[in-house]
Structure 1
Amino acid sequence: MNENTYVRAKDVAKEMDISEGMAYKIIRKLNEELREQGYVTVRGRLSRRYFEKRIYGTDNNEIE
């Protein structure tokens, strides 16, 4: 895995132009969705692919 596999609150905040506090709330919500689907999550980090899918409605590969 490379260093870009996960996003952190700073990354989410910068990407969405929101506060870090709001970014943590988004990470918690999306991680809960992943846990409900049976995935293992890491507190304070979120899969970059899942983030892009949920925020932009598409996988990064589909954008290109």
Structure 2
Amino acid sequence: MEKLFLNSKEVADLLNISQQQAYKIIRDMNEQLAEHGFLILRGKINKKYFMEQIYKAKEEE
């Protein structure tokens, strides 16, 4: 079964950043999801949402 959520280590590895920076990204994205009424897990981010946001950011560059 495919994982639905990424933790900070996985985000850090994917983006080649520190785990501290990954925590901040997760926290910011979770705030956005919470504003729209989605359930969030502290310290984890929905994998699908994360990938959509990262690829959207790359397309805007």
Give me the TM-score of the superposition, normalised by structure 2: 0.87
Give percent identity, aligned residues only: 41
Alignment gaps of 5+ in structure 1: 58-64
Q: Higher relative contact order at CA 8 Å, sep ≥6: structure 1 or structure 2? A: 2
Superposed CA deviations along residues 21-43 of structure 1, whole A, max 9, x for unmatched, are: 00000000000000000101000
RMSD: 0.9
TM, length-normalised to structure 1: 0.83
Higher share in helix: 2
Equivalent residue number for residue 10 of structure 1: 9
* Number of residue pairs aligned between Structure 1 and Structure 2: 56
Q: Displacement of 1:3 after TM fit? A: 4.9
